[in-house]
Amino acid sequence: MKLFYATTFNPRKACAVARHLDAPVTFVHVDLLKGEHRSPDYLAVNPNGRVPALIDGDTMLWEADAIMCHLARKAGSELWPSDGAQQVEVMRWLSWNSQHFSSHTGNLYFEHLIKPVLGLGEPEPAAVERMIGAFRDSAAVLNGHLRTHRYAAGDDITIADFALASGLPYADDTHVPFADFPHIVRWYTQLDALPAWRDPYPARTAA
């Protein structure tokens, strides 16, 4: 298997799951600043021109959530539960996350970390304020759920937890106020104790 990645927001969760499972993948770095994600060879793998992407034999997958699911299922890991009802629960949190929680943290990541790299100027204060308000609304929902659940989908960690946590390693730089939500802090501390989450990307030789 080949896992194409960059050291950015969405690939982090796919890389972390691959490392957590010790999956037999070859990590292939895609240099976004050099436009490698727009090359014909890469677009043949992912026509969206985004990372991550996975090649597994004749299977080509894009979207980090799908890649996490594929890696866990192939490994026989309960990160993707074998129980059908639990699968539905994981899907509920993956869907909610993509529309709400990580949508807000991802937008703040763009404002604070990506715009300066691309020369798009400073964060727009009104947009940032709106995103933080939206994050707080979603965080209140997740915090309330985690008050009575160890992990998002129950007592055991799943790919839903990796997905939900995607934006939190960047919280200091993006001013995401997740520290105001004690049950999220408790839950994230568990995830952050995993070596694969803290250090998801393979070592690369500096150019």
The DSSP result for 101-157, as a single string, is IHHHHHHHHIIIIIHHHHT--S--HHHHHHHHHHHHHHHHHHHHHHTS-SBTTBSS-
Residues 125 and 75 in one domain: no
Distance CA 53, CA 10 (A): 11
Q: Are 20 and 197 a contacting pair, CB within 8 Å?
A: yes
Q: Provide mean pLDDT across the span 143-159.
A: 97
Residues 157 and 183 in one domain: yes
Whether 145 is in a domain gets the answer yes
Q: Taken in order 171, 26, 55, 48, is the CA torsion positive or negative?
A: positive
Residues 124 and 190 in one domain: yes
Q: Provide mean pLDDT across the span 122-136.
A: 93
pLDDT given at position 204:
59
Distance CA 13, CA 200 (A): 8
SS3 176: coil
pLDDT given at position 175:
92
Helices of type H across 21-98: 40-43, 64-75, 84-96
Phi, psi dihedral angles at 29 (to 5 degrees): -75, 135
pLDDT given at position 7:
93
Whether 206 is in a domain gets the answer no
Q: Provide mean pLDDT across the span 128-151.
A: 96
Residues 68 and 91 in one domain: no
Q: Provide mean pLDDT across the span 143-147.
A: 98
Residues 88 and 71 in one domain: no
The total domain count for the chain is 2
pLDDT given at position 206:
41
Most distant pair of Cα atoms in the chain: their distance: 48
Q: Which of 79, 103, 126 is the last residue of a domain?
A: 79
Specify the CATH number for the domain of residue 37.
3.40.30.10
Residues 90 and 157 in one domain: yes
Residues 120 and 172 in one domain: yes
Task: Identify the band that residue 172 occupies on the pLDDT scale cut at 50, 70 and 90.
Answer: very high
pLDDT given at position 3:
98
- For residue 203, is pLDDT > 80? no
Q: Which of 49, 79, 109 is the last residue of a domain?
A: 79
What is the tens place of the pLDDT at every residue in 53-104?
999 999 999 999 999 999 999 999 999 999 999 999 999 999 999 999 999 9
Specify the CATH number for the domain of residue 136.
1.20.1050.10
Residues 64 and 111 in one domain: no
- For residue 205, is pLDDT > 60? no
Residues 65 and 99 in one domain: no
Residues 68 and 120 in one domain: no
Q: Provide mean pLDDT across the span 97-123.
A: 90
Residues 72 and 100 in one domain: no
Residues 94 and 118 in one domain: yes
| Average pLDDT value over all residues in the chain | 94
Q: Are 159 and 91 a contacting pair, CB within 8 Å?
A: no
Range of the domain at 21: 2-79
Say what percent of the chain tops pLDDT 90.
88
Whether 203 is in a domain gets the answer no
- For residue 19, is pLDDT > 90? yes
Question: Which pTM was predicted?
Answer: 0.93
Distance CA 166, CA 11 (A): 9
Q: Are 48 and 34 a contacting pair, CB within 8 Å?
A: no
